[in-house]
């Protein structure tokens, strides 16, 4: 099962990604969690201790690796380099393991201009393709507000794109942009998840604004999730039964065959 998660910054993508990854691991699955958001928060949401988080070096900042695999110096635009670098061993070499989840942090990509294929970008795209199409682990990919890390070929390997939305117009607009971008690369298997829902009015607002979309869950605003962030523990720790059941139901619907 390969799930990608997108949405406006701050809506709770990392919270959902971490919850689904930990639930899958608890069920005995081999899980690969990929943080493809430049504002990386997935390690914290998984409950990885702060000292270990500080040791994480995103793949896009692994200069020696990029130069070895692409044959080009980082940030040297316009040079000839390998467009199909070897990446099959990167997940095993660089993943940080925690509670049954293997985490890989991709990092940000600096583009040298429109249409520029820099060595870092080529390596990351090849890595994402390898993770989505050729790895057997269950995959949870936490992305920014878009689908830039996915191409048409890779998109075919994604079982479902989950778009997280909160009750606000900017979040709704971002969700619509994600949907449009997904359609442009042929990714049609979308589902939406509402987050930070404080009551019936919030849920009604989201459902009305995205009336044509499939919703597979509404996550209530929860003080326990805020405390988990503050205390640096995994998002699933200290949840009450109702909120835990909410995440379990979202996972079941996200992974159900259609």
Are 140 and 12 in contact by the 8 Å Cβ rule? The answer is no
Phi, psi of 107 (to 5 degrees): 90, 180
CB atoms within 10 A of CB 184: 11
pTM of the model: 0.92
- The backbone torsions φ and ψ at residue 250, rounded to the nearest 5 degrees and listed phi first, read -65, -45
What digits encode the pLDDT tens for the residues 147-162?
A: 877 877 888 899 999 9
CA atoms within 13 A on the CB side of 67: 8
- Domains and their CATH numbers in the chain: 2-255 (3.40.50.300)
The average confidence (pLDDT) of the chain is 91
Q: What is the pLDDT of residues 32-54, one digit of tens each?
A: 999 998 889 999 999 999 999 99
What one-character DSSP code corresponds to residue 254? H
pLDDT at 258 over 60: no
């Amino acid at each position: 099962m390969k799930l990608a998660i997108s949405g406006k910054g701050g809506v709770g993508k990392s919270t959902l990604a971490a919850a689904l990854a930990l639930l899958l691991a608890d069920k005995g699955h081999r899980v690969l969690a990929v943080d493809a958001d430049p504002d990386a928060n997935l390690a914290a949401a998984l409950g990885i201790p702060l000292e270990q988080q500080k040791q994480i070096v995103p793949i896009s900042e692994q200069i020696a690796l990029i130069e070895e695999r692409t044959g080009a110096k980082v940030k040297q635009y316009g040079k000839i380099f390998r467009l199909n670098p070897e990446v099959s061993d990167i997940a095993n070499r660089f993943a940080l393991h925690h509670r049954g989840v293997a985490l890989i942090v991709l990092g940000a990509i600096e583009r040298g201009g429109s249409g520029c294929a820099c060595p870092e970008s080529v390596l990351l795209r090849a890595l994402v393709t390898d993770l989505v199409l050729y790895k057997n682990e269950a995959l949870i990919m936490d992305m920014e507000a878009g689908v830039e890390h996915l191409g048409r070929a890779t998109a075919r390997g994604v079982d479902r794109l989950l778009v997280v939305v909160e009750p606000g117009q900017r979040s709704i607009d971002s969700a619509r942009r994600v949907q449009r971008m997904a359609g442009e690369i042929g990714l049609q298997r979308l589902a939406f998840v509402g987050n930070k829902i404080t009551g019936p009015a919030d849920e009604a607002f989201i459902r009305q604004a995205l009336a044509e979309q499939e919703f597979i869950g509404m996550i209530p605003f929860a003080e326990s999730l805020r405390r988990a962030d503050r205390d640096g523990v995994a998002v699933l720790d200290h949840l009450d039964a109702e909120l835990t059941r909410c995440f379990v139901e979202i996972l079941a619907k996200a992974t159900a065959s259609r």
